[in-house]
């Protein structure tokens, strides 16, 4: 699923059951944000240092995200414009890994999945021989959980309205 902001596009990493939209942040420049089919997204959080964007939209999907220990040659898949299979090559630093999976423009933010289908990170950008990904860590997952709780107030489900 694509996300758009003033001529820029990225791929949605995931949308929670509360309607929290998560993707890479470098596509966003302060303009209105839309998901495919012109669904508006209310900007909730931008983290310049961590390069992620969190918004809230009137759409609910649910996603299984996981923090996993990563290792050289770990098999992964990237779900961008198509599903691509490959492996982790090496860590670039404490936050990023190099993969052997090429990505195209607009696939920034695409979810990175383990072979069981759990989302373990997202694509940040292309590199000459593959792509660079950012795995989820505890801090990022806690941020996502916190925003999901706050999103219930902004975008309540029928069940939330009853409680």
Domain that holds residue 16: 2-62+138-155
Tens digits of residue pLDDT in 54-65: 888 888 787 888
Q: Are residues 84 and 119 in the same domain?
A: yes
Q: Say which DSSP state 109 is in.
A: T
Tens digits of residue pLDDT in 122-144: 999 999 989 999 999 888 888 77
With respect to residue 160, please indicate whether it lies within any of the assigned structural domains. Answer: no
Q: Residues near 158 by Cβ (< 8 Å), separated by ≥ 6?
A: none
d(CA 37, CA 35): 6
With respect to residue 69, please indicate whether it lies within any of the assigned structural domains. Answer: no
Tens digits of residue pLDDT in 16-72: 887 888 898 888 878 899 998 889 998 877 776 667 888 888 887 878 888 999 999
CATH code of residue 130: 2.40.10.10
d(CA 87, CA 16): 26
With respect to residue 95, please indicate whether it lies within any of the assigned structural domains. Answer: yes
Chain mean pLDDT for the chain: 85
> Whole-model pTM?
0.85
Q: Are residues 117 and 143 in the same domain?
A: no
| pLDDT number for residue 153 | 59
With respect to residue 31, please indicate whether it lies within any of the assigned structural domains. Answer: yes
Total domains present in the chain = 2
Q: Are residues 99 and 81 in the same domain?
A: yes
Q: Are residues 145 and 122 in the same domain?
A: no
Q: Are residues 84 and 120 in the same domain?
A: yes
With respect to residue 85, please indicate whether it lies within any of the assigned structural domains. Answer: yes
């Amino acid at each position: 699923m694509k996300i758009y902001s003033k001529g820029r596009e990225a791929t949605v990493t995931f949308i929670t059951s509360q309607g929290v939209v998560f993707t890479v942040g470098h596509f966003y420049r302060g303009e209105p944000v839309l998901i495919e089919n012109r669904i508006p997204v209310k900007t909730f959080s931008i983290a310049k240092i961590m390069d992620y964007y969190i918004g809230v939209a009137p759409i609910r999907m649910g996603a299984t995200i996981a923090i996993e220990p990563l290792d050289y040659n770990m098999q992964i898949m990237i779900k961008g414009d198509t599903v691509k299979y490959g492996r982790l090559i090496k860590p670039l630093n404490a936050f990023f890994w190099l993969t052997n999976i090429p990505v195209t423009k607009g696939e920034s933010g695409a979810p990175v999945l383990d072979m069981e289908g759990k989302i373990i990170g997202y694509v940040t950008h292309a590199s000459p021989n593959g792509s660079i990904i950012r795995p989820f860590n505890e801090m990022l997952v806690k941020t996502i959980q916190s925003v999901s709780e706050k999103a219930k107030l902004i975008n309540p489900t029928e069940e939330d309205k009853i409680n």
